[in-house]
Structure 1
Amino acid sequence: MRFVVVPAAYIYLLRDTGGGTEVLLQLRRGTGYMDEHWAAAAAGHVERGETAYDAAHREAREELGIGGLDLVFETTMQRTQHADPVDERVDFFFSARSWTGEPVIVEPEKCAELRWCRLDDLPEPVVPHERVALHHLGTGTAYLTHGF
């Protein structure tokens, strides 16, 4: 059976504090997917003709109003949902510790809140496959799977 692969780029903004590393997360609302779950502050589908890096920069501008990200590739995740085996996903996860501008909610119809959270004390609930990716940040793990 043939299936469609849908690529997406995720951006985790990170900062170090006296209490450890923090990540900027958004509370999803009004999207129809994982609403009321915490997720990457910026993420979205890779569009035709753009690389995952390009998509990450575009999503950061569109969703957070920031630019100049110093992106670090973290991992790729292949995931599936058994309920819809024709819909397969490939997610590219990036982190950034420097950028220009102050992150703000640009799309309030899709995001209820932005919050800096300690990586070792994430809020509940977090989008399940993103919790896996967050757990592997900085570990050098190049490839993850979810849902298989």
Structure 2
Amino acid sequence: MSTAAVDRFRVVPAAYVVLLREGEQGPEVLLQLRRGTGYMDDHWACAAAGYVEQGESVLDAAVREAREELGIVVDPAELDPVTVMHRTTPGGGPVEERVDFFFRCRTWSGSPVLQEADKAADLRWVPLACLPEPVVPHERAVLDGMVSSSVTPVTTFGFPVAPRGRAFRAT
């Protein structure tokens, strides 16, 4: 079968770096307040996240995003996989079919500082168990799952039915 005859579906991959540190009230996560991006503006989100570029590994993407968005250096060996999320936005078309790789990171070099002020209005450490509102919904599902220890290696989000009750569903 020729490749021209096969119209394969494609998903958009992204890497998320969940930076964590110990705070007075337990683990804290670094979040940014999205602004001026056209997607989920005025929602809190993981401080470093973005698309995997062609020819780039997901680990390289996570390291690059941490450097570009926060000015920090992350060793790929310090990226601890949390979950891989297959998500969709019903009616959003192919561009809304995503695969997101979430990594926990507790060690890095440098001090996180907003590097892209045109895309974020604030950067803040917050208790993981007490997130601000609103948080980007699929990211909130992962962060809440980290708090409750219910996050699974593979999750789904936005699909009508979660398989075997092990994945996240949009509510």
Q: TM-score, normalised by structure 2?
A: 0.82
CA contact (8 A) 1:23 1:117 kept: yes
Unaligned regions of 5+ residues in structure 2, if any?
1-6, 160-171
Unaligned runs of 5+ in 1: none
Identity of aligned residues (%): 59
CA distance in 1, matches of 2:127, 2:32: 13
Q: Which residue of 1 aligns with 2:4?
A: none
Structure showing greater Rg: 2
Ranked by relative contact order (alpha carbons within 8 Å, sequence separation 6 or more), the top structure is: 1
Q: Decide which structure has greater helix share.
A: 2
After the TM superposition, which segments of 4 or more aligned residues of structure 1 sit over 4 Å from their partners?
A: none
Calculate the TM-score normalised by the size of structure 1.
0.95
Partner of 2:20: 14
Count residues in correspondence: 148
Q: Which whole-Å deviations, capped at 9, do the CAs of 1:89-131 have from their partners, x for residues lacking one?
A: 0000001101000000000000100010111100000000000
**Residue pair 1:9, 1:56 contacting (<8 A) in 2 also:** yes
Deviations 1:27-74 (A, max 9, x none): 000000000000000100000111111100000000000003421111
The amino acid of 1:97's aligned partner reads R
Report which of the two has the higher share of strand. 1
User: In the TM superposition, what are the counterparts of 1:71-86 in structure 2 within 5 Å?
Assistant: 71-86=79-94
Deviation at 1:2, TM superposition (A): 4.6
RMSD: 1.4
